[in-house]
Amino acid sequence: MLGYAIFVGAKIAGGYHDAARGETPLFTDFTPTYAASIVVRELPAEFVYMQRTMVAAGKEAARRIYGDITDQQARVVGFAPWMYPPTFILLVIPLAYLPYLLAWAGWLGVTALPYLLTLRKILPGGLGLPFALAAPPAFFNVMYGQTGFLTAGLLGSGLLLLRSRPICAGVLIGLASVKPHFGVLVPFALLAGRHWRAFGAATLSVLLPIALSVLVLGDDPWFAFIGTSLFHIEGFSVGAFALPAMTTAWSAARLAGMTLDQAWFVQYAVSALMLALVVGVWWRGSKHPDSHDLQAAVLCLATPLALPLAFLYDLVLIVPAAAWLWADMRRHGAGSEEYWVLAGGLAALLGVKELAKALPFLAAPWILAALLGLALYRFLAALQRDARAPS
């Protein structure tokens, strides 16, 4: 954890030193987020979906970060497509009113709150916060300045409260729709688990922010978002996404040399398998409430595998899953090989990007599959314990 903080701080300081020397400074994924906030402050919100506007805003963001840098120094700040729905725009509006570093720190700090609270609940006794911050996906999220804390915090909190406070849980799960593709398996899990009240609350929690965004921003941003969706999908076929930083079956297939059609076939097969696993686990688990934490772990681990587009920073979502697994292993016992799979899988994520740069092999999906296998094993063991328990 301390090492992560030192590394990130050194990288940021190095970016400012490079800028002062006239070299290309450090730019992260937070730069286009900050650029989008600049656009929304000065123009109608639909302009974040326009390429020329976002390129210009990216250059402006670069100058707000590093001062009077040249076009050559800002050359790597090109077009970063805004792929989020208009509901997400509501979250970034305040950022343009802050200096860059304060906006970056505030963004990570605020979005980390539900994530840290979730881990603190899953792993009490002082273990939750160190585990949450030391997990490699947290490092990637801080380094990139991304949205992983927000997604993991909202979904993790919702799953944590699902049985005790289903309405509140549904609201939190629905709010995670600011990154809608990460909720692709959630409705199926809620329905299979017979969580009707949470499903209804989640549905309303999705619709109300949409209505609020239309009220605040108008409906033009929604037309722009829908209109550019096919443009973003085309990014898969033209190599617009950095494969070594991705974590999906599709990206692993492409990096291994498969054709586009073959990679999509692999992804469709994996996505169908993840859907079947989640539905089966939550259906069986509906009669075994004591296995709920393991059901939630299966859902969080299956979600990145079900998607064609997910990156290392998105794997913050699996940190609550790892915490649920660890808590179950401590409570009911586990073999040393299970601890090695859990700890080794998380630690190995640190090196998957560099490995993928050196070899045509993407390890991240295989690591996720191993952790998912551990979660399924623990879930089946929980069902067996329940069956052996006296009536």
Give 127-147 pLDDT, tens digit per residue. 999 999 999 999 999 988 999
d(CA 55, CA 72): 14
pLDDT given at position 368: 97
From first CA to last CA, the distance across the chain in angstroms is 46
Q: What is the pLDDT of residues 148-157, one digit of tens each?
A: 999 999 999 9
Among the ranges given (75-89, 97-111, 376-390), the one the predictor scored with the smallest mean pLDDT: 75-89
Give the model's confidence band at 237: pLDDT under 50 very low, under 70 low, under 90 confident, else very high: confident
Helix (H, G, I), strand (E, B) or coil at 385: helix
pLDDT given at position 78: 62
Q: What is the pLDDT of residues 290-332, one digit of tens each?
A: 999 999 999 999 999 999 999 999 999 999 999 999 999 999 9
Whether 46 shows a pLDDT value over 70: the answer reads: yes
Q: What is the pLDDT of residues 254-263, one digit of tens each?
A: 999 999 999 9
Domain positions in the chain: 2-82, 103-388
Report the sign of the C-alpha dihedral through residues 6, 8, 14, 19, in that order.
negative
The string of DSSP codes covering 120-168 is: HHHSTTTTHHHHHHHSHHHHHHHHHT-SHHHHHHHHHHHHHTTTT-HHH
Give the model's confidence band at 93: pLDDT under 50 very low, under 70 low, under 90 confident, else very high: very high
